[in-house]
Chains A and B, each alone.
Chain A
Amino acid sequence: MKANVWAGRNRLEIQDVPDPRILNARDAIVRVTSTAICGSDLHLVDGYIPTVKKGDVLGHEFMGEVVELGPGVRNLHIGDRVVVPFPIACGACFACQDGLYSLCENSNPNAGMAEKLMGHAPAGIFGYSHMLGGFPGGQAEYVRVPFADVGPIKIEDDLPDEKVLFLSDIFPTGFMGAEMCDIKPGQTIAIWGAGPVGQFAAASAFLLGADRVIVIDRFPYRLRRVQRTGAEVLNYEEVDVLEALRDMTGGRGPDACIDAVGMEAHHPTPAMYAYDRAKQATRMETERPYVLREAIMACRNGGVVSVIGVYGGFVDKFPMGTVMNRSLTIRTGQCHVQRYTEPLLQRIRAGEIDPSFVISHRMPLSKAPHAFELFKNKQDECNKVVLIP
C-alpha cells in the first residue's frame, strides 16, 4: 500500500510499504477514506519531537471503513464506517476509566522510553514518534487500529467524511481547550493561533457560552477565517498584544487564555525570536514558548491558561513568578478524544456546528509531501488539507 513516510527532517516521501496486519486480538484494519494533515505533524517534519525514525508512517487524523477485525472486537463489523481518535486507549486501566484517554497506561509499548524523558509515560498515538508507541499513522491506504473496540466511533448515518473527520483530533482538541477554561457567561477568552485548532477552540468557546473571543495570529487569511466563528482578531505583527488585550478587557485581561500554537511559535521582535530560535536550532531547548509566556502575562488575575498546543521537552524563561503570584491555573493535555467523540457527533448531527468549515484544500494522498509544503509555508491560503487515499 501507499503511505506518507518521514524520510528525515523536512523530507517526506510517498512509499510502498507492506499492508498492515492484525497483531493483537482487539485490532482492526481500517481502509482509510479520508485523512488530514495536522499542525502538530509539522513538529515531526521539522524534527523537534524526539524519537521519530526514518520510515515512520505519519498521520493521526483519519477515518475509514473496517476491512478486517481481530477476534477480540465484538462491537464493530466489517464494512462499518469509523472515525478513529488519535490517542490509543485500552479502556480498562485507571486512566481510561477516569476519562483520561490520552494517558492510557497500557497502549504505549515504548513506555520505558517515554518515562526517561517525561517521568511517566502517556498513551500511544498514531504516527507520532516511537516514544509515543511507534504506531504507523493514518496517512496511508490502510491502518491497523489497536483497541478498536474502545476508540473508534461508528458513523451510521449519511454524514459526509468532511463533517466528521475532525472528530479524530482537532475538533475535540479545540473543544477541550475551551472546556478547560471553565467558561461562564460574560467571559472573554483569548486564543493564540488562528489555525484549525484555534478556529475550533473559538467556535467551541462560543458553544460553551463565552461572551467574547479574541484570536491572535499574524496571517490575515487565517484571521479572516476565524472571524467567521464570531471572534474578534488581533494581528500580533501590527499591535502590541498585551496592550491591546488590556484595552479590550477594561484593563483586567482575558478570563482565560488558550495556547493553540505550541513549540514552534513566532515572535514579532527579531531579537526575541532569534534568542529561542538559536537555542532550539542547537537543541539546547526544544520549545519556542513565546505564546505560553504571553498567554500567562496576559491572563487576568486568577484566570486559566489552557495549553493545547504541542510541547515536546523543555521550556526556557518560564514566568513561574507570574503564575504563582497571580493565582493562575494552568491546564493542559493531549486531547482525551474518546471522551468527546459522541457528544460532539451529536452537536454535528444537531447542526450546531459544521466542522468542514476549516477545510481549504483537498488532494489525493499521493500529493501529501506537496500538501505539507503548502500547509507549512502558509502558501495558497492553506488552512487545512484533507487527503484522499
Chain B
Amino acid sequence: MMTDRLARALGWTSLALGAAQLAAPRAVTRLCGLDDAPGATTVARLVGARELLHAALLLGARNPAPWAWTRIAGDAMDLTVLGRAAAGRTGARRARALAALGAVAGITALDAACARQGTAKAKGPLQVRATITVNKRREEVYRFWRELENLPTFMVHLDAVRTIDQRRSRWKAKGPIAALEWEAEIIDERAGDLIAWQSVPGTGIATAGLVGFTDGPGGRGTVVDVSLEYGTPGRKLAAAVARMFGEHPEQQLRDDLRRFKQVMETGEVVRSEASPEGHRALRQLRQRPAQPTAQPTGGRA
C-alpha cells in the first residue's frame, strides 16, 4: 500500500518534471548548468518526453511499484549526463551541475527503494477471493462442499478429488503440460460455518483455501465466501493454468462459484450450445456459434 503510494508520488514527480522540460527546456538546462552545450534544449525535451512515459506507466498501472524500475533506468542516464557535465565545467555552472547531480542521486535512492519493494510484493503469494449467494439452506450448501469429491463438478480445472480420510484428500488438476497432483489437508473446520484447507508441503503445489458459509440477510439463502492462496511455486503454476484457460484466477473462481450455485439450485451445470461443456473459461472468449453442435460434448456434471 505504502509502496504503491510512493510509486504514484514518483509518477506525479515525473509528470511535473516532464512538463517543465517540454515547456521550458532552456530554464531547465540553465538550472543544471548545461545551457552552454550545443543541442541542450533538444536533449532536455527528449528527457522530458521520457519523464512523461514514466508518468504514464506509474500513474496508469494498477500495480505501479514495479514500474519504478523504468525510472531507475532514466536516473542512470541522467546521472551519467550530469556527472560528465560537472566534471567538464567550472565555477557557477559546475556548482549548479553538482547540485542537480545530488538531487537526482536522492531521487534515485527513492526510486530504487520503491522498485525493490514493488518487485518483492509481486513475488508474494497470489490471493483471490469471490463470493456468491446460493438460494439454499446453509447446512445443505455446507454439506455439498464438505463432500470434497463434489468439487470437480463445478471447479472446471479440477479433474478429481479423492478423500483419503476425514482430513486428507488427494487432488488432481489439469496442468499446462502434465496433470498436477497434490495432497490437501483440512486444517480448520466448523460444521456449517467454514472449511479451511492447505496443501501438504512437498506433495505438489503450495495452495491454501478458506470457504465461509453465512446466512443471507432476510432468509435469503447462504452467502458463500471463498479465499484462495497460491504460494510462490504455486503462483506461477496458477498463472499458467489461468492463461491456459484464458482467464484471470479471480474470474475463474467467480465462474466456479456461479457453477456451484447452478449445481445447488438447479441440480447441474447449465450448458448452452455455445459452451456445451459447461463453459470452460477459454470458451468464454472463444465460443462456438449458438447453433446445435454435432459432436458429443464429453463434459461432466
Q: Chain A interface (Cβ within 8 Å of chain B)? A: 3, 5, 17-21, 23-26, 53-57, 72, 90, 92-94, 97, 105-113, 124, 127, 130, 133-137, 144, 146-147
Are A106 and B270 closer than 8 Å at their CB atoms?
yes
CB distance from B127 to the nearest CB of A (A): 20
| CB closest residue in chain A, given B296 | A21
Are A109 and B290 closer than 8 Å at their CB atoms?
no
**Given contacts A92-B265, A94-B133, are A24 and B221 in contact (CB under 8 A)?**
no
Are B135 and A136 closer than 8 Å at their CB atoms?
no
8 pairs of residues in contact across A and B, judged by CB atoms under 8 Å: A3-B291, A18-B291, A19-B292, A23-B297, A93-B261, A112-B251, A112-B254, A112-B258
Are B289 and A127 closer than 8 Å at their CB atoms?
no
**Given contacts A92-B135, A92-B266, are A23 and B289 in contact (CB under 8 A)?**
no
| CB closest residue in chain B, given A111 | B258
Please name all residues of chain A whose beta carbon is closer than 8 Å to the beta carbon of B276 when the two chains form the complex: 23
Please name all residues of chain B whose beta carbon is closer than 8 Å to the beta carbon of A25 when the two chains form the complex: 267-268
B287 at interface, CB cutoff 8 A = yes
Are A56 and B290 closer than 8 Å at their CB atoms?
yes
CB distance from B134 to the nearest CB of A (A): 9
Q: Chain B interface (Cβ within 8 Å of chain A)? A: 133, 135, 220-221, 251, 254-255, 258, 261-262, 265-268, 270-276, 278-279, 284, 287-294, 297
CA distance A314 to B71 in the complex (A): 39
CA distance A20 to B291 in the complex (A): 8
Please name all residues of chain A whose beta carbon is closer than 8 Å to the beta carbon of B270 when the two chains form the complex: 24, 90, 106-109, 124, 146
| CB closest residue in chain A, given B216 | A94
Are A20 and B292 closer than 8 Å at their CB atoms?
yes
CA distance A133 to B279 in the complex (A): 10
Contact of A110 among B254, B261, B279, B291 (CB under 8 A): B279
Among A24, A53, A127, the most chain B Cβ lie within 10 Å of the Cβ of A24
CB distance from B92 to the nearest CB of A (A): 55
Are B278 and A109 closer than 8 Å at their CB atoms?
yes
**Given contacts A109-B275, A112-B258, are A24 and B291 in contact (CB under 8 A)?**
no
Are B266 and A109 closer than 8 Å at their CB atoms?
no
**Given contacts A17-B291, A18-B292, are A93 and B265 in contact (CB under 8 A)?**
yes
CA distance A53 to B290 in the complex (A): 8
Are A5 and B266 closer than 8 Å at their CB atoms?
no
CA distance A147 to B265 in the complex (A): 12
Are A135 and B289 closer than 8 Å at their CB atoms?
no
Contact of B265 among A106, A108, A113, A136 (CB under 8 A): A106
CA distance A5 to B288 in the complex (A): 13
CA distance A21 to B271 in the complex (A): 12
CB distance from A133 to the nearest CB of B (A): 5
CA distance A111 to B279 in the complex (A): 10
Nearest 7 Cβ contacts at the A-B interface: A134-B274, A55-B289, A18-B294, A20-B292, A56-B290, A92-B265, A23-B271
CA distance A108 to B290 in the complex (A): 13
| CB closest residue in chain A, given B285 | A113
Please name all residues of chain B whose beta carbon is closer than 8 Å to the beta carbon of A106 when the two chains form the complex: 261-262, 265-266, 270
Please name all residues of chain A whose beta carbon is closer than 8 Å to the beta carbon of B255 when the two chains form the complex: 112
CA distance A94 to B136 in the complex (A): 10
Are B284 and A26 closer than 8 Å at their CB atoms?
no
Additional 16 contacts, C-beta under 8 A, given A18-B292, A92-B265, A106-B266: A5-B289, A23-B272, A23-B276, A25-B268, A55-B288, A55-B289, A57-B289, A90-B266, A92-B266, A97-B135, A110-B272, A113-B284, A127-B290, A130-B290, A136-B291, A144-B292
Contact of B261 among A17, A55, A105, A127 (CB under 8 A): A105
Are B220 and A94 closer than 8 Å at their CB atoms?
yes
Please name all residues of chain A whose beta carbon is closer than 8 Å to the beta carbon of B133 when the two chains form the complex: 94
CA distance A263 to B152 in the complex (A): 42
CB distance from B101 to the nearest CB of A (A): 49
**Given contacts A25-B267, A94-B220, A112-B254, are A130 and B291 in contact (CB under 8 A)?**
no
**Given contacts A94-B221, A134-B275, A135-B274, are A147 and B290 in contact (CB under 8 A)?**
no
| CB closest residue in chain B, given A137 | B290
Please name all residues of chain A whose beta carbon is closer than 8 Å to the beta carbon of B279 when the two chains form the complex: 109-110
CA distance A144 to B268 in the complex (A): 17
Please name all residues of chain B whose beta carbon is closer than 8 Å to the beta carbon of A5 when the two chains form the complex: 289, 291
CB distance from A152 to the nearest CB of B (A): 16
CB distance from B284 to the nearest CB of A (A): 6
Please name all residues of chain A whose beta carbon is closer than 8 Å to the beta carbon of B297 when the two chains form the complex: 23
Please name all residues of chain B whose beta carbon is closer than 8 Å to the beta carbon of A144 when the two chains form the complex: 273, 292
**Given contacts A18-B294, A109-B271, are A56 and B289 in contact (CB under 8 A)?**
yes
Please name all residues of chain A whose beta carbon is closer than 8 Å to the beta carbon of B274 when the two chains form the complex: 53, 109-110, 130, 133-135
**Given contacts A23-B276, A112-B251, are A93 and B271 in contact (CB under 8 A)?**
no
Please name all residues of chain A whose beta carbon is closer than 8 Å to the beta carbon of B268 when the two chains form the complex: 24-25
Are A124 and B272 closer than 8 Å at their CB atoms?
yes
Among A23, A111, A133, the most chain B Cβ lie within 10 Å of the Cβ of A23
CA distance A293 to B16 in the complex (A): 43
Are A112 and B292 closer than 8 Å at their CB atoms?
no
Are B287 and A134 closer than 8 Å at their CB atoms?
yes
CA distance A83 to B95 in the complex (A): 89
CA distance A72 to B88 in the complex (A): 88
CA distance A106 to B290 in the complex (A): 18
| CB closest residue in chain B, given A92 | B265
